[in-house]
Structures are given as structure tokens and as C-alpha cells.
């Protein structure tokens, strides 16, 4: 993963510098931005592989920045929240973040998160050439999903989530299993990551996201992909 570029968006200069130092120790190149406006400009110029966004930014805030990036890119985004309250975390995930960390976090934790996100970009098991679920068609090798023959645009994490469900069609995968396979979390990962991503996935691949046909919830157990 040498050559990986990370864009760190954080308005506190001292934190930015320290995090940059710690991430550079991992062998990554770190670009800094202290506001949302600067971040958008740097993003277009540096083409980072991962973006780290602090929610509390002057000017356009972290949520808005994330939504702006999501309009043109499926780059993995890690949100940094001040609290792990439902509101901030879910709002961040719904704005399109792939994962989140709560301040103060250990930089080791951050690099572990980034590594998990980077791993996701290169799917590990290209076992099947195509998988078909009713009107859904998955082409893991190309990272493509077709619904009724039309390509659906998924983020890397959504795609990975769908692939994991597709690997064992009809079988229920628990939140813990999905957290482990997709995000690399242990037992204590946050189940809301799965829930929000499943919700977002449904809006893209389901004809009626409120009554999903493909990605169904099995109460108390987890999720299942079916035709």
C-alpha cells in the first residue's frame, strides 16, 4: 500500500500535524486541508485514496463535505466525530461515510481503519465471474452491479457488503459477521455501521427500498440476500 494518498481534513492544526506524522509512519502520503472548501480543491487535485473528515469544520461542515464528495466519487471516507451519540454517527454514515472514529482515538486505530478500507477496494475473492439474483447481476471482478441490465453505482463498501451477502446466498449473516468481513471489526464493532450501509444499499438496488426483496432483514439474526 505504498503510494497511498490520504487527505486529512481537520481544522485544528496541531492535531492535523500529529496525525500526519503518525500516518506518514505507516508509509502513506498525507495531504492536509483545514476547511471543507480547501478539502474539495485538494481532493480534485491530489486524488486521495482515503479521506479523513472531522465533522466540526468551519464553513461547510463535515457532513456537507462528505455529501459533496459522494456526488462525484466513491472514495472511502472516515468520519471523526466528537461524540458517539446516535445523531452524529448515523448522520455521518448517512452522509456517505464508510466508517467513523470518536475523538480522542489512537492513531493506531485510525491506521487499522484505513487499512481495512483499502483492503476493501481490492476484493479478495474473485471466485465467481457473475452472480445473478433475480433482476440483480453482480460482476465481482469488474466491481460492477447491474439492476435490470443497468449499472448501479455503489461505493466500495456497499459493493463489498453486497459481495459478502452474495457469497452465501440465502444464508443469514449476522451483524457481527458482516462487521468482521467488511470492516474488519471484532465483536465490539458498531452494528449501526451495518444497518446504515444496508439501508443505503437498498435505496440503490431495491425497486421499493421500504419493502426490500433482495436484502432482507431477519429479525434478531441479521441479513440475507435472496432473489
Query: Would you give the distance in Å from CA 207 to the centre of its chain?
Result: 23
Least distance (Å) between residue 50 CB and other proteins: 17
Provide the phi-psi class of 41: left if phi over 0, else alpha when psi is between -120 and 50, else beta.
alpha
91 lies in the binding site for other proteins (CB under 8 A): no
What is the C-alpha separation between 204 and 162, in angstroms, rounded?
A: 11
State the helix-helix crossing angle for 86-94 and 62-72, rounded to 10 degrees. Answer: 20
Q: Does 108 bind other proteins (CB under 8 A)?
A: yes
- Pick the piece of the chain touching other proteins (CB under 8 A) from 132-140, 145-153, 164-172, 189-197: 189-197
- Tell which positions 167-186 bind other proteins, by CB under 8 A: 186
> Which residues are CB-neighbours of 148 under 8 A, at least 6 positions away?
135
Nearest to residue 95, comparing CAs of 36, 171, 47? 36
Query: Considering only residues 86, 125, 150, 211, which one is a binding residue for other proteins as defined by CB under 8 A?
Result: 86
Q: Does 2 bind other proteins (CB under 8 A)?
A: no
If the CB atoms of residues 26 and 167 are measured against other proteins, the closer one turns out to be 26
Does residue 104 bind other proteins (CB under 8 A)? yes
- Grid cell in block for residue 36: 471543507
CB atoms within 10 A of CB 25: 10
The stretch near other proteins (CB under 8 A) out of 16-24, 90-98, 126-134, 158-166 is 16-24
H/E run at residue 56: none
Applying CB under 8 A, does 19 fall inside the site for other proteins? yes
Name the strands in the sheet holding 77-81, side by side, starting at the edge strand that comes first in the sequence.
Answer: 29-33, 5-9, 50-54, 77-81, 99-102
Q: How far is the CB of 107 from other proteins (least distance, A)?
A: 5
Nearest residue (CB) to other proteins, 104 versus 149? 104
Q: Is 149 in the site for other proteins (CB under 8 A)?
A: no
Identify the three-state secondary structure at position 218: strand
Q: How many chain residues touch other proteins (CB under 8 A)?
A: 26
What the block records as the C-alpha cell of 183 is: 470492516
From the list 21-29, 31-39, 57-65, 136-144, the region that binds other proteins by CB under 8 A is: 21-29
Are the beta carbons of 69 and 77 closer than 8 angstroms? Answer: yes
Rule CB under 8 A: choose which of 5, 15, 146, 213 binds other proteins: 15
Binding site for other proteins (CB under 8 A): 12, 14-15, 17-19, 21-22, 25, 82-83, 85-86, 103-108, 186-188, 190-192, 220
Amino acid at each position: 500500500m505504498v503510494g497511498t494518498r490520504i487527505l486529512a481534513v481537520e481544522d485544528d492544526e496541531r492535531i492535523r500535524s500529529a496525525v500526519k506524522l503518525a500516518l506518514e509512519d505507516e508509509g502513506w502520503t498525507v495531504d492536509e486541508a483545514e476547511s471543507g472548501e480547501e478539502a474539495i480543491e485538494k481532493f480534485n487535485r491530489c486524488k486521495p485514496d482515503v479521506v479523513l473528515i472531522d465533522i466540526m469544520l468551519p464553513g461547510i461542515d463535515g457532513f456537507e463535505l462528505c455529501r459533496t464528495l459522494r456526488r462525484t466519487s466513491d472514495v472511502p471516507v472516515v468520519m471523526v466525530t466528537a461524540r458517539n451519540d446516535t445523531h452524529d454517527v448515523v448522520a455521518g454514515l448517512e452522509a456517505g461515510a464508510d466508517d467513523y472514529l470518536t475523538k480522542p482515538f489512537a492513531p493506531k486505530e485510525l491506521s487499522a481503519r484505513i487499512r481495512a478500507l483499502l483492503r476493501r477496494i481490492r476484493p479478495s475473492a474473485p471466485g465467481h465471474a457473475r452472480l445473478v439474483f433475480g433482476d440483480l447481476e453482480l460482476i465481482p471482478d469488474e466491481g460492477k452491479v447491474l439492476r435490470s441490465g443497468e449499472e448501479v453505482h455503489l461505493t466500495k463498501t456497499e459493493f463489498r457488503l453486497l459481495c459478502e451477502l452474495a457469497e452465501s446466498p440465502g444464508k443469514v449473516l449476522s451483524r457481527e459477521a458482516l462487521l468482521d468481513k467488511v470492516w474488519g471489526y471484532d465483536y465490539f464493532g458498531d452494528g449501526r455501521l451495518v444497518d446504515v450501509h444496508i439501508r443505503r444499499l437498498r435505496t440503490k438496488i431495491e425497486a421499493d427500498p421500504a419493502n426490500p426483496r433482495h436484502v432482507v432483514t431477519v429479525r434478531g439474526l441479521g441479513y440475507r440476500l435472496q432473489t
